[in-house]
Amino acid sequence: MFTGAMVALVTPFQDGEIDFQTLDELVNFQLENGIDGIVPVGTTGESPTLSHEEHKQVIERVVKDVGGQVPVIAGAGSNSTAEAIELTAFSKKVGADATLQVCPYYNKPTQEGFYQHFRTIAEEVDLPIVLYNIPGRCGAGMTPETIARLAELENIVAVKEATGSMDQASEIAMRCDITIISGDDSLTLPLASVGGKGVISVVANVVPADVKAMTDLILEGDLVSARQWHKKLFALSKNMLTLATNPIPIKAAMAILNMASDELRLPMTPLEEGKKAVLEQTLKDYGLL
């Protein structure tokens, strides 16, 4: 269930409020383009600046829009275990298929703290969990040993690896059989070479069919053909993460493509004009403009 091309969905805003009409359109766009799974209210969905009520509204709306056609993996993580349990229980209540659980941020738990945090969520709510290991955002990350311990728990089914380390992914694959999913678009194919089974993708917000074409080939074991898609997607994928902090560039791209507003919530600010010109050229080079 948790392999292939999954989109890290943006949360569109209009005049400071969530733009639910555009959210519906974005979900439909993903479904029409054959996406394998939808991941609302993660990093790309600007979960840090949504209120708890808004966070729940987005999960519920996406689940309703998807209507069981593909899995919905709801962002439900927190640096408070009790809060993560609350969001996870809500996700289950409204029909999400799984939750994405980011490593607790700012309070920097020990490895034992990470283990107990995720174990407690898994025991409290009977819903599959995709771990999200992204030390660059969280100040600390899980070791392969901790991930292997967590993989022994029935509910913990996959890990979104956003460490940028091939050695980390290799060691996880060596220690356990948890499903490894890329958290960086530019590393989806390299990760596949050591056992990765897909991506939770930012760039799929604009080119879902292309990301799926690559992950389909990966899952078929045809890494040579997948390399052609990797080369095509690479510059676009890289710009989404290097021009500015995610989701600033993807929202700018979606505005250029008339898919959604580029509105963000502070402390996120719009892409600078000079960088916007670079992004526009990248979209042209790709064939989107």
pLDDT tens, position by position, 43-101: 999 999 999 999 999 999 999 999 999 999 999 999 999 999 999 999 999 999 999 99
Does pLDDT of 146 surpass 90?
yes
Three-state SS at 220: coil
**289 assigned to some structural domain:** no
The confidence score (pLDDT) of residue 139 equals 87
Does pLDDT of 276 surpass 90?
yes
* Summary mean pLDDT of the chain: 97
**Closest C-alpha among 251, 200, 207, 258 to residue 229:** 207
Q: Which of 56, 115, 132, 212 is catalytic?
A: 132
| Predicted confidence (pLDDT) per residue in 9-19, tens digit | 999 999 999 99
The confidence score (pLDDT) of residue 149 equals 98
Percentage helix, strand, coil for the chain under 3-state DSSP, each rounded to 5: 50, 15, 35
**237 assigned to some structural domain:** no
Using CA atoms, how far residue 159 sits from 125, 129, 168, in Å, is: 18, 8, 12
**276 assigned to some structural domain:** no
End-to-end CA distance of the chain: 34
What distance in Å separates the CA atoms of residue 155 and residue 99, rounded to the nearest whole number? 10
Using CA atoms, how far residue 167 sits from 7, 27, 173, 183, 249, in Å, is: 25, 35, 10, 15, 28
**23 assigned to some structural domain:** yes
Token pair, residue 289, equals 């403009």
Residue 182: band (very low, low, confident or very high) from pLDDT cuts 50, 70, 90: very high
What is the reported pTM?
Answer: 0.97
Domains: count for the chain: 1
Three-state SS at 43: coil
Whether 105 is a known active-site residue: answer: no
Quote the domain boundaries for residue 190.
Answer: 4-218
Residue carrying the six token digits 């659980």: 101
Q: Which of 160, 197, 251, 276 is catalytic?
A: 160
Residues above pLDDT 70, as percent of the chain = 100
The confidence score (pLDDT) of residue 64 equals 98
The confidence score (pLDDT) of residue 53 equals 98
What distance in Å separates the CA atoms of residue 203 and residue 211, rounded to the nearest whole number? 8
**101 assigned to some structural domain:** yes
**Closest C-alpha among 172, 81, 88 to residue 127:** 88
**35 assigned to some structural domain:** yes
Contact yes or no for 100/160 (Cβ under 8 A): yes
Average pLDDT over residues 197-226: 98
Whether 284 is a known active-site residue: answer: no
Give the number of other CB atoms < 10 A from CB of residue 189.
Answer: 23
What distance in Å separates the CA atoms of residue 100 and residue 73, rounded to the nearest whole number? 6
**228 assigned to some structural domain:** no
CATH code at position 48:
3.20.20.70
**104 assigned to some structural domain:** yes
